[in-house]
Every structure is written in structure tokens, then in C-alpha cells.
Chains A and B, each alone.
Chain A
Amino acid sequence: MSRSLHDATRNSFPERAERLTRVESEAAVDVLVTAPLLDRRSWRRWWIGVAVATLLTLVFVGAIAMILGKGIGVLGNNTSIVWGYPIANYVWWIGIGNAGTLISSLLLLTHQRWRAAINRFAEAMTLMAVAIAGLFPILHMGRPEYFYWLAPYPNVMHLWPQWRSALVWDFWAILSYLLFSIVFWYTGLIPDLATLRDRTLGRAGQLFYGALSLGWRNSARHWYAYEKYYKAMAALAVPLVCSVHSIVGLDFAAGMMPGWQEPIFPPYFVVGAMFSGFAMVVVLAALVRWGLKLEALVTMNHFDAMAKLMVMGATIMGLSYAAEWFSGWYSGRHADHSLLAFEFVGHYAPMYWAMLFCNVMACQIFWFRWARRNMAVLIVVAILVNIGMWLERILIVWNTLAHAYLPSMWSLFAPTIWDWAVTLGSLGFFALMYLIFVRVFPAISMHEVKQLVHEEVAA
């Protein structure tokens, strides 16, 4: 019976622009979301994905073992360009995390109802991206075993963290963001885990989802407290996520280097993070909807909305770059002028131009409605944006450090195989965690979508 209802809900209703979903009943939402989880047969593509992701994860683990075992000398970092890939990857991954929180909190507070179908898997993306981001600052340390010295605790050295250091801000930003996101995500998941508990037939599944749902029984009293709590969490998450990315921006802006010491960095990093995060959400949404057959819940209307946000992001990124160039020129300092020239025509200029194309130009196609509703265009542009944003981060590190005040310090960066292994491996690790998430947990927030469907059907 569930199969036929499944097929019926998938194809029977045409997509309408004024409706966000193509589902006509609340029961159908449960069927659509839980059917793949409760069905053991249709997971062949998933296993292929897991195999590939596991291989890349092994590369990641190997690279980390190499870096921790042999030291950071195995990376391309040198005495001038001391940051290299780990910091670029850190900024890139934490930027990816941004969008999940914004979708689940900012869009909730501003009553953007389309968020309901995508917030769960976007939040999961946040968790995993932030967890990976947190690894990279540790990996780029000379003595990674002492990373916990950044926390204030009674110690036999009678020392305290240097609170004026961007490294300490980073530590707390990442830690708070990660733990807060876990709590936010898990509490959002509890009612859906209860639904799964009640739909599972096997004893093991009942025990698993039953224990994780903590005995949630959908009481009106609990729902009331839950909604108050959830909205308050959303209201806290928005300033938290902005502060986290501002602090990442301050890592650079608080350093007195040409090209870094600019007050625009914190807001520019927040927008850049949102931009790359939304691009990643587009890619994941396309994959989740294809893999779990959720076309009825995640519709082209969702992609349309995200594409609009991306074109806004791209435009603001363009303005931010322009502001950077302007303040570099207006400063009148030789070092800044020289750095600007190095960016546009120096050794890394091809990458810089590619970055400008990916981050500013590519998204402009989304001014056209057909492009916002064409899956191929969406995915290609989203991947271009993610590449562009990674280029931006590596170039922030490379350009400034390769071309700082002292010409005697000018040098270039040659990435080693371990740089690439840890970078590509982190993508595999992300994919593996994400695949496990979609296999075990409902990828879509059922109780929120049910509410949405109820409102839409009633309207």
C-alpha cells in the first residue's frame, strides 16, 4: 500500500508556482520521507556512494596521520606563506556551514515557508562542515597535541589564554557553533524520530528510533514549549552565525598585512560564507531529492528561491571585491598598490580571474527564470561557486603572504601531494558522514512540512 501511495503522490500532482510542495495530504509526507529509510532494498546507489566516500575518507585519514606524524613540513607551507591549504580549507568549510544555520533560523524568523522542506538536510550539512572545519586549524599547528591550551582551565603552568588573540576567538567560535548546531539540529529531529519509531516494524529500528526520540509523544504542552524554544534558538542562531564568520574575517583583518587589514572583512566573510553555503545546499538538495525520490517535497520553487539568494550573494561579493580594490588604491600605500597589481597580473592572476568569474559572473545567469528552474544550470553554477569560493580563500592566503611588505620575503607556494590529499579527502569524509545521515535520519523535517502541507491544502 505504501508503494502505491508513494507513486501516487510522486506523480499525480502538477507543480504549481503558487504551491511549494506537490503533496496533498499530511500522511503522504510521512510516506515520502520515511519510505526510503524503512526500505532495505533500494539502496544500491547509496552503497556505491559509500564505497567512493570511504576510499576518499581513507585518503583523508592517511593525510592527517602523515601531517600529525611527520609534522606540517609535509605540507607546502613555507616561512613566508605560513598558512596555505589548511587555513583556506578551514575558511571554506566553515563558510559551507553557514547556510544551514541561516536556512533553519533566519528564514524561520522571517516566515519564509519554503525553508521547511530543506532545513533538515541543510542543518546536517552545517554540522558536518563545521566539524571538518574545526579539524583544519588543529592540523596547521606545529604542536597540534596542545590545541586545548586555547581553553581556560586550571593548569600547572599557571597560564591563561591570550584573550586578545584571534586564535582564541576562533576556538570559541567554532566550538560554540558546532555544539550549538548539534543541539539545535537534534532537538529539531526529536519529533521526526518519534514518527519513525511509530512507523518502523522491526524491533531493532523501534529500539533505535525509540531511544533517540526520548519518548516524545507529541503532547500539545510539549509542542508549545518546543515551539517557544525553537524560535528562541533561531533568534540566537542568527547573531551566532554572523559572529562566527565575522571572527573568521577578523583572523585576517586583525593581522597587519596589506590586503588583510580592512574593516570590510567581517561582513564580507559573512556574505561569502552564506553564498558558498547556499551553493552547497543547491548541490545537496539536488542529490537528496534525486537519491531519495523527494521531487514532490523539494520542488523547483525551492531551487528558484535559492538561486535568487545566490544572485544576491554574487552581486554583494562583486561589491566587496570592488571595495577591497578601492581601499587598496585609496590607502595610497605602496605595499597595497603593489599587492593589487600582483593580484591582477602576478603569478596567481589566472586563478584570481577565474575566481572573479565563478563568484561574480556565473550567478548572473540566475536573473533569468529559465536558468533558476534548470537543474543542469543550477548544479553547474553551484559547483562553480564552490570552486570560486575555495579559490578566494586560498588566494587571500597566497597573495598577501606571497607579496607582503618586505620584498625579501616574497615567495610562492608549491602545494604537495599531502595538501591535495587532505583537501580532497575532507570532501570524501563529508560525503561519508552525509550519506550515513540520509540513510539513518529523515532528510526532511516531517512535522514542519506536514504543517506546511496542512496550511496549503486548507488554503
Chain B
Amino acid sequence: MTRVLLACFPHPEALMIAVRRVKEEGAVPVDAFTPHPVDGLAEALGAARTPVRKWMLAGGLLGGFGAYFTEWFSAVIDLPINAGGRPLHSWEVFYLFPFEFGVLMAGIVGAAALLATSGLPRLNHPLFDVQGFERSSQDGFILAVEQPERHPERLRDMLLASEALWVREGKT
């Protein structure tokens, strides 16, 4: 739990400038909360990495190969039936089910990984206590900066000088 200062900006450009200034001042921008994705914001916060796609790849491959193995095992090993003289291992059509299933598993695993790595669902969060935080899903671009030990009012003044509509304290 970090004590932060939350500053609300009217548009993403002001937020991006504020991130740069905060870093120049030596303070640490922890996170930002914006109604829509802002280009370069995650990079500026040093948070531009996510394992979600790796999980999707793993889920897709596992689902696909698992499905193919099921087909091969059932049609060649467990229940070899002569269906109109076709080869037991009819790979020409065996890729259809693994493809569909692999895509499905990639999607489901991806959604689960997205939620898990984001710490969601989290219905109760200290940020929701901050008055005005609800603007972040509508028209407010909110920056969270770690509250410095010394001179927090200097940071507050700096944020207000960078077009912040308001600055409030909160916890993340």
C-alpha cells in the first residue's frame, strides 16, 4: 500500500507532460488512470510489459496439441475403425478441431491471464474512496505519484501548475 498524490488532468497531453515533469523532479509516478488507452503512457510509467500474450500462446498451443492428441489417440490407438478405407490417422481433416479448440483456449486463457495479472476482479479498492476518482472512467486523466517524504506540498504545487484540476491524497 503506497501513499500517493492523485492529480486529475483535463486531457491526456497534460497528463503526459506532468509525468515527464514529475520524473524530472525526482518523484515516482506510480500509475495513471485514464478513460481510454493513452499512447506511450505505460512506457513513460515503466509499466510497458505484460505476459498476457505469452499465456495466450501457451493456452492456444496446449489446446491445439491436446485436441490433436485426442484425435490421434482415439482414432489410431483406442478405437481404430475403418471408415470407408480412409487412413486411421487422417491428418488432412484432423487439424480442423485442434484449430478451433486452440483458438478458443487461447481466448479463454488470455482473458484469465488478463484478469489475473491485473489483479482483477477487485471490487473494493482504496482508490475508490478518493473523491473524484470516478472521473477516470469518463473524462479525467488521473496521475498517481508516490508521496515524497519531504516537501509533499512542493510536488502538489508543481502538479497544480501543470494544469491539474485537483490534487488529492490516496492509497494504491
Contact = CB atoms under 8 A, between A and B. Distances in A.
A–B direct touch in complex (beta carbons closer than 8 A): yes
Interface of A: 25-27, 30, 152, 158-164, 168-169, 172-173, 175-177, 179-180, 183-184, 186-187, 191, 194-195, 197-199, 210-211, 214-229, 232-233, 236, 239-240, 243-244, 247, 447-448, 450-451, 454
A101 B101 CA distance: 17
B2 interface: no
Nearest to B112: A183
A152 B47 contact: no
Interface of B: 11-12, 31-38, 41-42, 45, 47-48, 50, 52-53, 56, 60, 70-71, 74-75, 78-79, 81, 83, 86, 90, 93-94, 96-97, 99-101, 103-104, 106-108, 110-111, 113-115, 117-118, 120-125, 127-128, 133-139
Q: Interface SS of chain A: helix, strand, loop or mixed?
A: helix
Contacts of A222: 118, 120
Contact of A215 (B79, B81, B122, B134): B122
Contacts of A169: 93, 96-97, 100
B101 to A, nearest CB: 6
A454 B12 contact: yes
A355 to B, nearest CB: 29
Contacts of A236: 56, 60, 103, 106-107
- Residue in B36, B71, B103 with the greatest tally of chain A CB atoms within 10 Å: B36
28 contacts: A26-B139, A152-B70, A160-B75, A163-B94, A164-B83, A164-B93, A169-B97, A172-B96, A180-B107, A214-B123, A215-B125, A217-B33, A220-B31, A220-B32, A220-B34, A220-B38, A223-B37, A224-B37, A224-B50, A229-B52, A232-B106, A233-B110, A236-B106, A240-B100, A447-B37, A448-B36, A450-B36, A451-B36
A60 B11 CA distance: 50
Contact of A239 (B103, B114, B136): B103
Contacts of A172: 96-97, 100-101
A144 B101 CA distance: 23
Contacts of A226: 37, 114, 118
